[in-house]
Amino acid sequence: MWTKKLAGTLAAIYLLTGTALAAGPEWTLEETMESEPDEDLPAGFFDGDFIPTDAEGLDVPAPSAILMEKETGAVLFEKNADARLRPASVTKVMTILLIAEAVDSGALSLDDVITCSAYAAGMGGSQVFLEEGERMTLREMLKCIVVSSANDAAVAVAEHMAGSEQAFAARMNQRALELGMVNTNFTNCTGLMDDPDHLTSARDIALMSRELLLNHGWIREYTTIWMDTIRNGAFGLSNTNKMVRFYEGATGLKTGYTSSAGHCLSATAMRDGVEYIAVVLHCGSSAERFESARTLLNYAFGAYTLAGPKPAQVLPLIPVTLGKAGFVQPVLPESPKLLVKKTDAASLEVKVELDEELRAPVEAGQEVGVMTVTLNGAVLSETPVVAADAVPRLTWWDVAKRMLGTLFCGDR
């Protein structure tokens, strides 16, 4: 009978050499890492093809799907996006989000050492064969969770953070509520169990995926890994998300599969500084989920662009009465980010309206106007224009000094 360590060693040998072993049970690398069946995709599967310019032209076989732009949160396509379904290991997007938030808040360090409990070691499905008492840094545990969807690593970290998986699941649900994930209920941190109460939706998955990428961008160092190792190179990791290797600009994010959940995926990709999130659930095959995600992402990249309209010229100074300075510079704190069709980008119109005059005191950041962006007469955004600096009001002594200066020095 093979031990966990032997299985891990053999997996690493297969990964590094690509050579099948002559003796022992038949297995593949993916089967030692991921419980979901690994299906071969046709050659050129991820190559470019027809890109529709209208959402009505999309043919997405996934029963439930959504397409979202990361920066604005704009939804470009949805299909049964609020249906409550089992997410399988896509659950771990929330697990990863809570880990990333703890790291960025200082509550955890990637160098912290996590000890695997007997309960965590007993997790089935996707795993890295942790043994009870085995110690591994959070950095390595996180790699196992993100790349190989390791249930044992996910539970070990959950226990380290919250004391138990159940307590960690409560944190997951609290964070889901904060993010507006109204169709979500997590009962565990892995998605391994086909619990009828463990449910979420394509829209909710997109929301937590967006939060992860928007505010914890360093996670891409993990989500873009195709192959790697742990245990000083003795155990191989392989990503089941084939888009990471074959789709241009892929940034992640998470696959999932159980027999009842079907094939699920939160796929993310970035090109020219614009990142999209395509979530597909309950697909009938691995090929179907990748085809659905690819179609959605191709549509987004082909049809849309992220515009940052600005005033055509430097904004003029605004006079200030009774101020220690006679003028204040109006500024735009930040340019609005608008997701528009590429065919409409050149038609955006920018109009700035400023106060004709201000009366001191003027506060730094005080609203002094508005910039309006329109497309074919429709208002897309209204952004406040503010004062760059504060202008204090003149005191009576300031006024007296000015009058005396004028009286004795004259107008020069």
* Chain centroid, CA 270 distance in Å: 11
Tokens of 100: 């990333």
Q: Are 137 and 154 in contact (CB under 8 A)?
A: no
Helix (H, G, I), strand (E, B) or coil at 40: coil
∠ CA 297-302-306, rounded to 5°? 90
| Catalytic choice (64, 89, 117, 209) | 89
Contact 116, 131 (CB under 8 A): yes
Nearest of 49, 92, 352 to residue 200 by alpha carbon: 92
Q: Give the integer Cα–Cα distance in Å for 190 and 175.
A: 16
Return the bridge partners of 69, or none: 276
Of the chain, the end-to-end C-alpha distance in Å amounts to: 101
Catalytic choice (70, 92, 242, 254): 92
CA distance 176 to 154: 18
User: What's the angle, vertex CA 32, arms to CA 31 and CA 36, rounded to 5?
Assistant: 35
Q: Of 149, 209, 238, 266, which residue is the catalytic one?
A: 149
What residues contact residue 143 under an 8 Å CB cut-off, 6+ apart?
222, 225, 228, 230, 237
Peptide bond into 348 cis (omega under 30): no
Most distant CA pair in the chain, distance:
106
> Is 149 an active-site residue?
yes
Could you tell me which residues are beta bridge partners of residue 341? 304
Could you tell me which of 380, 371, 328, 333 has the C-alpha nearest to residue 353?
371
Residues with catalytic roles: 89, 92, 149
